[in-house]
Protein backbone atom coordinates (compact mmCIF):
# COMPACT_ATOMS: atom_id res chain seq x y z
CA UNK A 1 0.00 0.00 0.00
CA UNK A 2 1.37 3.45 -0.85
CA UNK A 3 1.95 5.94 1.95
CA UNK A 4 -0.91 8.06 0.65
CA UNK A 5 -3.28 5.06 0.58
CA UNK A 6 -2.14 4.02 4.05
CA UNK A 7 -2.79 7.53 5.30
CA UNK A 8 -6.23 7.65 3.67
CA UNK A 9 -7.18 4.36 5.31
CA UNK A 10 -6.24 5.52 8.82
CA UNK A 11 -7.87 8.19 10.96
CA UNK A 12 -5.63 10.56 12.92
CA UNK A 13 -5.76 10.00 16.67
CA UNK A 14 -4.99 12.42 19.49
CA UNK A 15 -3.53 10.81 22.62
CA UNK A 16 -4.07 12.77 25.79
CA UNK A 17 -2.69 13.19 29.31
CA UNK A 18 0.59 11.40 28.63
CA UNK A 19 3.04 11.08 31.49
CA UNK A 20 6.78 10.95 30.85
CA UNK A 21 7.84 11.32 34.48
CA UNK A 22 9.09 14.85 33.82
CA UNK A 23 8.58 15.70 37.51
CA UNK A 24 11.33 13.26 38.45
CA UNK A 25 15.09 13.34 38.12
CA UNK A 26 16.29 14.71 34.75
CA UNK A 27 19.94 15.02 33.80
CA UNK A 28 21.07 18.48 32.73
CA UNK A 29 22.96 17.17 29.69
CA UNK A 30 20.59 14.42 28.79
CA UNK A 31 21.76 13.74 25.23
CA UNK A 32 25.08 11.88 24.85
CA UNK A 33 26.19 13.57 28.08
CA UNK A 34 26.99 16.45 25.73
CA UNK A 35 26.23 20.05 26.76
CA UNK A 36 26.13 21.42 23.20
CA UNK A 37 23.96 18.65 21.71
CA UNK A 38 21.58 18.64 24.69
CA UNK A 39 21.20 22.42 24.69
CA UNK A 40 20.75 22.60 20.92
CA UNK A 41 17.80 20.19 21.13
CA UNK A 42 16.55 21.98 24.26
CA UNK A 43 16.62 25.34 22.44
CA UNK A 44 14.42 23.88 19.70
CA UNK A 45 12.12 22.18 22.17
CA UNK A 46 11.74 25.33 24.24
CA UNK A 47 10.22 27.00 21.18
CA UNK A 48 7.58 24.31 20.70
CA UNK A 49 4.68 25.40 22.97
CA UNK A 50 4.38 28.93 21.57
CA UNK A 51 5.44 27.89 18.08
CA UNK A 52 2.78 25.22 17.96
CA UNK A 53 0.12 27.60 19.28
CA UNK A 54 0.96 29.78 16.27
CA UNK A 55 0.64 26.77 13.91
CA UNK A 56 -2.79 26.02 15.38
CA UNK A 57 -3.96 29.62 14.85
CA UNK A 58 -2.66 29.66 11.24
CA UNK A 59 -4.53 26.45 10.35
CA UNK A 60 -7.62 27.50 12.31
CA UNK A 61 -7.80 30.68 10.19
CA UNK A 62 -8.91 28.48 7.26
CA UNK A 63 -11.23 26.10 9.09
CA UNK A 64 -14.40 28.00 8.19
CA UNK A 65 -13.54 27.79 4.49
CA UNK A 66 -12.76 24.06 4.63
CA UNK A 67 -15.55 21.90 3.27
CA UNK A 68 -13.92 18.45 2.91
CA UNK A 69 -15.13 16.47 5.98
CA UNK A 70 -11.97 14.33 6.15
CA UNK A 71 -9.74 17.40 6.15
CA UNK A 72 -11.99 19.07 8.74
CA UNK A 73 -11.65 16.02 11.01
CA UNK A 74 -7.88 16.06 10.50
CA UNK A 75 -7.69 19.77 11.39
CA UNK A 76 -9.55 18.97 14.61
CA UNK A 77 -7.12 16.17 15.55
CA UNK A 78 -4.10 18.24 14.46
CA UNK A 79 -5.20 20.96 16.90
CA UNK A 80 -5.67 18.41 19.69
CA UNK A 81 -2.28 16.77 19.04
CA UNK A 82 -0.45 20.11 18.97
CA UNK A 83 -2.32 21.21 22.10
CA UNK A 84 -1.04 18.11 23.95
CA UNK A 85 2.51 18.70 22.69
CA UNK A 86 2.29 22.22 24.10
CA UNK A 87 1.20 20.93 27.54
CA UNK A 88 4.03 18.39 27.82
CA UNK A 89 6.71 20.74 26.44
CA UNK A 90 5.57 23.55 28.76
CA UNK A 91 6.23 21.15 31.63
CA UNK A 92 9.70 20.44 30.26
CA UNK A 93 10.27 24.19 29.81
CA UNK A 94 9.54 24.60 33.51
CA UNK A 95 12.23 22.03 34.30
CA UNK A 96 14.67 23.92 32.04
CA UNK A 97 13.89 27.13 33.94
CA UNK A 98 14.68 25.31 37.20
CA UNK A 99 18.06 24.40 35.69
CA UNK A 100 18.68 28.13 35.15
CA UNK A 101 17.95 28.18 31.42
CA UNK A 102 16.65 31.47 30.03
CA UNK A 103 13.60 29.83 28.45
CA UNK A 104 11.62 33.07 28.57
CA UNK A 105 14.06 34.72 26.15
CA UNK A 106 13.07 32.07 23.57
CA UNK A 107 9.39 32.37 24.42
CA UNK A 108 9.62 36.18 23.90
CA UNK A 109 11.53 35.74 20.63
CA UNK A 110 8.92 33.29 19.30
CA UNK A 111 5.96 35.40 20.38
CA UNK A 112 7.46 38.60 18.95
CA UNK A 113 8.00 36.86 15.64
CA UNK A 114 4.56 35.26 15.64
CA UNK A 115 2.99 38.69 16.22
CA UNK A 116 5.12 40.30 13.46
CA UNK A 117 4.30 37.55 10.96
CA UNK A 118 0.60 37.71 11.75
CA UNK A 119 0.55 41.50 11.48
CA UNK A 120 2.66 42.00 8.36
CA UNK A 121 1.99 38.92 6.22
CA UNK A 122 -1.19 37.47 4.70
CA UNK A 123 -2.89 34.55 6.41
CA UNK A 124 -1.93 32.49 3.34
CA UNK A 125 1.76 33.21 3.92
CA UNK A 126 1.43 32.46 7.63
CA UNK A 127 -0.09 29.10 6.72
CA UNK A 128 2.77 28.50 4.25
CA UNK A 129 5.22 29.18 7.10
CA UNK A 130 3.32 26.66 9.24
CA UNK A 131 3.45 24.01 6.50
CA UNK A 132 7.21 24.57 6.16
CA UNK A 133 7.76 24.30 9.93
CA UNK A 134 5.66 21.14 9.91
CA UNK A 135 7.95 19.66 7.25
CA UNK A 136 10.81 20.11 9.73
CA UNK A 137 8.92 18.61 12.68
CA UNK A 138 7.84 15.68 10.47
CA UNK A 139 11.56 14.99 9.90
CA UNK A 140 12.24 14.54 13.63
CA UNK A 141 11.23 10.86 13.51
CA UNK A 142 13.60 10.16 10.62
CA UNK A 143 16.43 12.21 12.16
CA UNK A 144 16.30 10.76 15.67
CA UNK A 145 14.62 7.37 15.54
CA UNK A 146 15.62 5.48 12.39
CA UNK A 147 19.18 4.68 13.52
CA UNK A 148 19.58 3.22 16.98
CA UNK A 149 22.90 4.95 17.61
CA UNK A 150 21.28 8.42 17.40
CA UNK A 151 19.33 7.94 20.62
CA UNK A 152 21.54 5.32 22.30
CA UNK A 153 22.82 7.70 24.97
CA UNK A 154 19.73 9.79 25.59
CA UNK A 155 17.80 9.98 28.85
CA UNK A 156 14.88 7.47 28.51
CA UNK A 157 12.22 9.94 29.70
CA UNK A 158 13.23 12.65 27.26
CA UNK A 159 13.74 10.06 24.53
CA UNK A 160 10.17 8.81 25.07
CA UNK A 161 8.83 12.38 25.03
CA UNK A 162 10.61 13.04 21.74
CA UNK A 163 9.45 9.68 20.33
CA UNK A 164 5.79 10.49 20.99
CA UNK A 165 6.13 14.00 19.57
CA UNK A 166 8.05 12.78 16.51
CA UNK A 167 5.48 10.03 15.82
CA UNK A 168 2.53 12.43 15.99
CA UNK A 169 4.31 15.03 13.87
CA UNK A 170 4.75 12.32 11.23
CA UNK A 171 1.09 11.34 11.51
CA UNK A 172 -0.22 14.87 10.95
CA UNK A 173 2.54 16.04 8.61
CA UNK A 174 0.18 16.72 5.69
CA UNK A 175 -2.63 18.57 7.50
CA UNK A 176 -1.27 22.13 7.28
CA UNK A 177 0.05 21.33 3.79
CA UNK A 178 -3.34 20.10 2.55
CA UNK A 179 -5.11 23.15 3.97
CA UNK A 180 -2.45 25.33 2.32
CA UNK A 181 -2.96 23.69 -1.08
CA UNK A 182 -6.62 22.78 -1.11
CA UNK A 183 -8.18 25.63 0.86
CA UNK A 184 -5.75 28.57 0.90
CA UNK A 185 -4.64 27.79 -2.70
CA UNK A 186 -1.04 28.80 -1.97
CA UNK A 187 1.11 28.48 -5.08
CA UNK A 188 4.59 27.08 -5.65
CA UNK A 189 6.46 30.37 -5.23
CA UNK A 190 4.94 31.25 -1.87
CA UNK A 191 5.44 27.70 -0.58
CA UNK A 192 9.17 27.82 -1.46
CA UNK A 193 9.66 31.37 -0.17
CA UNK A 194 8.14 30.33 3.16
CA UNK A 195 10.52 27.35 3.39
CA UNK A 196 13.56 29.60 2.79
CA UNK A 197 12.21 31.93 5.48
CA UNK A 198 11.81 28.99 7.91
CA UNK A 199 15.33 27.64 7.23
CA UNK A 200 16.82 31.06 8.06
CA UNK A 201 14.56 31.47 11.09
CA UNK A 202 15.46 28.07 12.56
CA UNK A 203 19.18 28.64 11.95
CA UNK A 204 19.08 31.95 13.82
CA UNK A 205 16.93 30.49 16.62
CA UNK A 206 19.11 27.45 17.27
CA UNK A 207 22.46 29.30 17.06
CA UNK A 208 21.35 32.17 19.24
CA UNK A 209 19.63 30.16 21.95
CA UNK A 210 22.01 27.19 22.08
CA UNK A 211 24.65 29.81 22.83
CA UNK A 212 22.37 31.42 25.45
CA UNK A 213 21.67 28.11 27.20
CA UNK A 214 25.35 27.16 27.24
CA UNK A 215 26.07 30.56 28.78
CA UNK A 216 23.38 29.81 31.39
CA UNK A 217 25.24 26.53 32.06
CA UNK A 218 28.31 28.61 32.94
CA UNK A 219 30.51 28.03 29.89
CA UNK A 220 32.92 30.82 28.88
CA UNK A 221 32.81 32.56 25.48
CA UNK A 222 35.75 30.48 24.20
CA UNK A 223 34.23 27.22 25.40
CA UNK A 224 30.91 28.12 23.79
CA UNK A 225 32.47 28.99 20.44
CA UNK A 226 34.31 25.67 20.42
CA UNK A 227 31.12 23.81 21.33
CA UNK A 228 29.08 25.68 18.72
CA UNK A 229 31.63 24.73 16.05
CA UNK A 230 31.35 21.09 17.17
CA UNK A 231 27.57 21.27 17.09
CA UNK A 232 27.68 22.60 13.50
CA UNK A 233 29.84 19.59 12.59
CA UNK A 234 27.44 17.25 14.43
CA UNK A 235 24.57 18.73 12.38
CA UNK A 236 26.19 19.35 9.02
CA UNK A 237 29.40 17.31 8.91
CA UNK A 238 30.03 13.95 7.27
CA UNK A 239 27.07 11.69 8.21
CA UNK A 240 25.77 14.64 10.27
CA UNK A 241 22.41 14.52 11.99
CA UNK A 242 20.93 17.03 9.51
CA UNK A 243 23.21 16.61 6.51
CA UNK A 244 22.14 12.96 6.22
CA UNK A 245 18.54 14.12 5.70
CA UNK A 246 19.00 17.02 3.29
CA UNK A 247 17.25 15.00 0.55
CA UNK A 248 14.11 14.80 2.68
CA UNK A 249 14.36 18.51 3.51
CA UNK A 250 14.93 19.77 -0.02
CA UNK A 251 12.26 17.54 -1.56
CA UNK A 252 9.92 20.27 -0.31
CA UNK A 253 11.12 22.45 -3.20
CA UNK A 254 10.01 19.94 -5.88
CA UNK A 255 7.03 21.35 -7.83
CA UNK A 256 4.78 18.32 -7.28
CA UNK A 257 5.81 17.65 -3.68
CA UNK A 258 3.36 16.22 -1.15
CA UNK A 259 4.34 15.13 2.41
CA UNK A 260 2.91 11.63 1.91
CA UNK A 261 5.41 10.97 -0.89
CA UNK A 262 7.87 10.46 1.97
CA UNK A 263 7.69 7.11 3.75
CA UNK A 264 6.77 6.77 7.39
CA UNK A 265 9.76 5.45 9.38
CA UNK A 266 10.05 1.63 9.43
CA UNK A 267 9.53 1.39 13.22
CA UNK A 268 6.42 3.58 13.39
CA UNK A 269 4.13 0.57 13.96
CA UNK A 270 6.24 -0.53 16.94
CA UNK A 271 5.34 2.72 18.70
CA UNK A 272 1.64 2.58 17.77
CA UNK A 273 1.07 -1.10 18.64
CA UNK A 274 2.92 -0.81 21.97
CA UNK A 275 0.96 2.30 22.91
CA UNK A 276 -2.34 0.65 21.93
CA UNK A 277 -1.48 -2.44 23.96
CA UNK A 278 -0.09 -0.76 27.09
CA UNK A 279 -1.33 2.85 27.06
CA UNK A 280 2.17 3.65 28.30
CA UNK A 281 4.11 6.27 26.28
CA UNK A 282 7.37 5.32 28.01
CA UNK A 283 7.06 1.73 26.79
CA UNK A 284 6.00 2.92 23.34
CA UNK A 285 9.04 5.21 23.16
CA UNK A 286 11.29 2.34 24.17
CA UNK A 287 9.70 0.07 21.54
CA UNK A 288 10.35 2.69 18.84
CA UNK A 289 13.97 2.97 19.96
CA UNK A 290 14.47 -0.81 20.20
CA UNK A 291 13.05 -1.32 16.70
CA UNK A 292 15.48 1.20 15.17
CA UNK A 293 18.18 -0.17 12.85
FE1 LIG B 1 3.85 19.17 17.77
FE1 LIG C 1 2.94 19.56 14.07
Distance from residue 196's CA to the centre of ligand 2 (Å)? 18
Distance from residue 219's CA to the centre of ligand 1 (Å)? 31
Ligand found nearest the CA of 164: 1
Q: Whole-angstrom Cα distance, residue 12 to residue 75? A: 10
Distance from residue 85's CA to the centre of ligand 1 (Å)? 5
Q: Residue 92: name the closest of 36, 32, 165 by CA.
A: 165
Ligand found nearest the CA of 137: 2
Ligand found nearest the CA of 176: 2
C-beta of residue 59 within 8 angstroms of C-beta of residue 78: yes
pLDDT at position 212 = 97
pLDDT at position 230 = 87
Distance from residue 224's CA to the centre of ligand 2 (Å)? 31
The architecture in CATH of the region 31-260 reads Orthogonal Bundle (1.10)
pLDDT at position 1 = 44
pLDDT at position 11 = 73
**Burial class of residue 276 (count of CB atoms within 10 Å of its CB; 0-12, 13-18, 19+):** exposed
Distance from residue 89's CA to the centre of ligand 2 (Å)? 13
CB-based neighbours (< 5 A) of ligand 2, an ion = 134, 137, 169
Distance from residue 135's CA to the centre of ligand 2 (Å)? 8
pLDDT in tens, 48-94: 999 999 999 999 999 999 999 999 999 999 999 999 999 999 999 99
pLDDT at position 8 = 58
Distance from residue 220's CA to the centre of ligand 1 (Å)? 33
Residue ranges of the chain whose pLDDT lies below 50? 1
Q: Which long-range contacts (CB under 8 A, 24 or more apart) does 208-213 make?
A: 208/109, 209/43, 209/46, 209/47, 209/105, 209/106, 209/109, 210/36, 210/39, 210/40, 210/43, 212/43, 212/102, 212/105, 212/106, 213/39, 213/42, 213/43, 213/96, 213/101, 213/102
pLDDT in tens, 256-271: 999 999 989 999 999 9
Q: Residue 91: name the closest of 48, 44, 35, 51 by CA.
A: 48
Distance from residue 223's CA to the centre of ligand 2 (Å)? 34
Q: Whole-angstrom Cα distance, residue 64 to residue 242? A: 37
C-beta of residue 163 within 8 angstroms of C-beta of residue 271: yes
pTM as predicted: 0.96
Q: Residue 42: name the closest of 80, 96, 2, 6 by CA.
A: 96
Amino acid sequence: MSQQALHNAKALVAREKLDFGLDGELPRWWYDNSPHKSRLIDALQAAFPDGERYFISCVRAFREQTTDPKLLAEIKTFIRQEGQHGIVHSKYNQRLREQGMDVDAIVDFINRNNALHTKHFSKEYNLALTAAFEHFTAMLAEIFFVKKETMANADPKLRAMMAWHAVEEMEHKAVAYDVMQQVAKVGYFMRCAAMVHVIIFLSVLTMRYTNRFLKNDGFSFGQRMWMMAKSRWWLFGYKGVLSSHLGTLFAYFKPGFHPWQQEAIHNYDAWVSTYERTGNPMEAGDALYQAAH
